[in-house]
Structure 1
Amino acid sequence: MRLLLCVFLYLVGVIQATNTTTTTSDSFKVPSPSFTTRTLWTIVSSSVLTLFACVYSAIHPNIPSPKHSPGGILLQRLGITIMALIAPELIATWAMRQWLSARQVTKQFETSGYYDHTWTQTHSFFVLMGGFMLYVDGRPCHTLRPDYILKLIREGYIDAPTLTAEQIHDRSKGDAISKGLVVLQVGWFVMQLITRVIYNLEITLLEVGTFAFAVLNFLTYAMWWNKPLNVEFPHPVYWKSTESKPEDHIEYVCASTDVPLLIMSASVSVTKKKTAGLGIMPLIFRPILELIGMPGIPISRRLQVPTFDGSIKLKGWARFALAQSAFVMAAVFGAIHVLAWNVAFPIYQEQVLWNLSGIAIVCAPSLGMYIYIWLFLCRPALRWLSFPICILYVMLYVTARAILLVLMFATLDNLPPDAYKAVSWTSFVPHL
């Protein structure tokens, strides 16, 4: 927060210094700033760096399994990054769910009597990301969920972990300065975009799309500010009993369990049997179902926590707030693209594609969910339509996102002259 305050004061000083060099004949007129030129490389590099900060640097992944190779960890991170490009509101929802879950877990541990005020929000994030691993005979056995830790401490099978918040932050690959630099870059990008709007300078579609990512990025970073970044190994917790085994006290879940077709065909009864023939469907719907906390979805894998973990059952108000926030974030993300309705397009067909895709992103998530609920509650005989409707809306959303991403770069070859102008004082603000 101090870093952000310093940046704000710096910006105020720069703006005031710029305003003193302008004419003051009419105190009610907006000062006319001096302009400079920027190149296509400047536009692309600033946007891509900000986009990278939003879809890669801002992601705080859970701790990987000890059995994962570096290549497997990299592929997993790449998959999350691609998902962040396609559905950034899903990442923001993930961050919000973990923040709400961490608040709930913190209260649970503070009232347990084992930690008093030594258990912090950082501890809660750490346990939710798979930070405590149960070891039996020197080997990793199971990732400990918050309720498992309290249960096994109460029954005397493990000692209460004594890891401090400072030790957890020491494992993290990011601190307030590194996170602040990312926020600084994103903040600078948003600031210079606002100045372009104020002085009626042309904005490229790449900048509009990046701005949409930046808006969700601020929320994501705010939710994950106390979450450790890129922790590679969990903290060991050792099994003490020689008379019983961990499987007698905690639930073991197979990591290869797939989501059956029954979920999407409207029965919502999920079994733990491995399902064949679903193809790519589990990859599309599983993150959403995990975030919702759908009954029957594996809530903990043996040696790692699922990426979009829904093991903490949120209370009514929190779950409702999370669901509504997810729809609002999706609508805001799409609405920002729609705001570029009258931006100069090289080809009329590209303008139509951009506007229709933006509208699809605004409407598809909430409309699809409301139709799904309506079929369930009001038309039981038509529940079989829920599966094709889900497929249709997912295909519509993914197609619209792909079109927007392509147009963001495809329209750079024919920019109007005003797009190469820039307000001079924005270059004085520290950025990458």
Structure 2
Amino acid sequence: MPPLNWTEPCSIARTATTAGLAKGWVSQPNQRGTLDILSGCIITILLCSWSVLCLHIPEPEAGHWSFLRYKLRWQFFTIIFPEVIVSMAAEQWESANQNVTKFTQLGYPQWTMRHAFFADMGGFMLSSPDFPDFPIDGCQLAYLVEQKYIRLPEVDVRTIWDRNKADGFARLITSVQIAWFCIKCIARWIQRLTLSTLELTTFAFIIATLNTLFFWNHKPLDVTTPIVLQTETRITDILIKAGDVAREPYLRTPLDFLTSPPTSWKSYNRPIRRFGNTKTRPPAGLTYRESIYGILFEFVYFGIHLIGWRSVFPTMLERYLWRISSLVLLGLLCLYLFCIPLGVATARPFSKAILGKELSTPLEVAENLPKWAQRVIHIPIVGFYVLARLYILLEGLVSLRALPLDAYTDISWSNFLPHLR
């Protein structure tokens, strides 16, 4: 058996592509061309990644250009890791839900999801006689109101939305582009025409975008100025009255004892002036509903890439690297699902034996591990994950140099339309 030539075109399984590959740049005067594929995907990804982002309020001193750079950095991150943005949005949605429930229990039914999102994104700054101003989230605001340190802010939904600089026209264009791109993908699938791996990746990106839009539906977009709340009580008195729970040194603000900050290797200038976008952790934790949803979404999102398992690639090497990358992403998800119940079952005995104190959840155990141990655990996992994601993104672009001939065949709309009846 002759050895495999990894630089030769891969074997072709579909009869529609047995005629070979169209190599190089394909012009489009009378047919679909390379520019059509490239521009359609890039425009869709750029529109989605820009309009979907509902970021937390930046530092008060940040100007227009600083905010623009801030959002562009997050847009770049969204393009590479859209599934991480979905996870962030889902956690923030659950945190807002729990905040609304808390205020309802306190007798404030007028507190809505928009209020809760606005609070969690750093919409309120607390000003006190003995401490620099710092942001407070919804859970901390509920505590301050319950203890009568401040009154509930009389902020109606219209006031919050006035601070929202969402461009409805841009979102309309994004929605139209998403709908048109999905219709074309479905039509090509029905007519058994090849979809490039770049289009497959873009379709997965759209699935992530739609999920993010759902969770951030009530979150204001591009808000840059918070509302300052004044308390006459000193922060020192608030901490003394809170008791032992408030004696631990804080990482971000003096009210960290109400909502534990996430584990971070970063040092903060205390107190912080804004909340980081990854800071939100639901006060009561995630429910089974969110956990099951997250598992199903990840399987669907990573599963879409597996559709390209038998796609035609320019070389055998690229084909196998695509398969390996897809399996790595799915495998890391399965590893996570295996580790969660294992961690729950072993958290107490492990923490008691190794850390000298009894902890009940894997998250608590992870937060109490030494920094070097956290790095040893996280860096290999994150490294494999990043490499797999980057390869899938780059391969979508690189593979355009050689696609099956029917990838450039236009959709026959007269044959597709009967399927819509």
Q: 1:54 is matched with which residue?
A: 48
Of 220, 234, 249, the match for 1:245: 234
What code does the residue aligned with 1:358 have?
A: S
Shift of the 85–109 alpha-carbon distance from structure 1 to 2, 3 Å rule, reads same
Shift of 1:408: 0.6
Question: What's the secondary structure of 1:37's corresponding residue?
Answer: coil
Of 112, 120, 123, the match for 2:112: 120
- Cα distance in 2, alignment partners of residues 388 and 305 from structure 1: 27
- Cα distance in 2, alignment partners of residues 237 and 51 from structure 1: 39
Whether contact under 8 Å (2:139, 2:283) holds in the other structure is no
Q: 1:363 is matched with which residue?
A: 331
- Cα distance in 2, alignment partners of residues 80 and 396 from structure 1: 21
- Cα distance in 1, alignment partners of residues 376 and 296 from structure 2: 24
Q: 1:348 is matched with which residue?
A: 316
Shift of 1:324: 4.0
Question: What's the secondary structure of 1:309's corresponding residue?
Answer: coil
> What is the count of residue pairs matched by the alignment?
353
Q: 2:395 is matched with which residue?
A: 407
Shift of 1:391: 2.4
Of 298, 302, 316, the match for 1:330: 298
Give RMSD over aligned pairs. 3.6
Shift of the 247–413 alpha-carbon distance from structure 1 to 2, 3 Å rule, reads farther
- Cα distance in 1, alignment partners of residues 106 and 167 from structure 2: 30
TM-score under structure 1 length normalisation = 0.71
Where do residues 251-400 of structure 1 align in structure 2 (5 Å cutoff)?
A: 253-255=250-252, 302-315=272-285, 318-368=286-336, 370-371=338-339, 374=342, 377=346, 380=350, 388-400=376-388
- Cα distance in 2, alignment partners of residues 388 and 157 from structure 1: 44
Where do residues 166-245 of structure 1 align in structure 2 (5 Å cutoff)?
A: 166-174=158-166, 178-239=170-231, 241=232, 244-245=233-234
What code does the residue aligned with 2:235 have?
A: P
Whether contact under 8 Å (1:334, 1:358) holds in the other structure is yes
Q: 1:44 is matched with which residue?
A: 38
- Cα distance in 2, alignment partners of residues 150 and 340 from structure 1: 49
Shift of 1:109: 1.3
Question: What's the secondary structure of 1:236's corresponding residue?
Answer: strand
Whether contact under 8 Å (2:51, 2:170) holds in the other structure is no
Question: What's the secondary structure of 2:166's corresponding residue?
Answer: coil
Query: What runs of 5+ residues in structure 2 fail to find an aligned partner?
Result: 1-29, 240-245, 254-259, 355-368
Question: What's the secondary structure of 1:143's corresponding residue?
Answer: strand
TM-score under structure 2 length normalisation = 0.73
What code does the residue aligned with 1:197 have?
A: W
Question: Which digits, 9 at most, give the CA deviation of each residue in 1:1-22, with x for residues without a partner?
Answer: xxxxxxxxxxxxxxxxxxxxxx
Shift of 1:386: 7.4
Query: What runs of 5+ residues in structure 1 fail to find an aligned partner?
Result: 1-35, 257-288
Where do residues 132-171 of structure 1 align in structure 2 (5 Å cutoff)?
A: 132-136=124-128, 141-171=133-163
Shift of 1:417: 2.4
Shift of the 333–154 alpha-carbon distance from structure 1 to 2, 3 Å rule, reads closer
Question: Which digits, 9 at most, give the CA deviation of each residue in 1:354-378, with x for residues without a partner?
Answer: 1111111111133156348647829
What code does the residue aligned with 1:403 have?
A: Y
- Cα distance in 2, alignment partners of residues 65 and 191 from structure 1: 41
Shift of 1:301: 5.9
Question: What's the secondary structure of 2:229's corresponding residue?
Answer: strand
The percent identity for this pair of structures is 27
Shift of 1:342: 1.7
Query: Bigger shift: 294-303 or 38-47?
Result: 294-303
- Cα distance in 2, alignment partners of residues 295 and 341 from structure 1: 37
Q: 1:25 is matched with which residue?
A: none
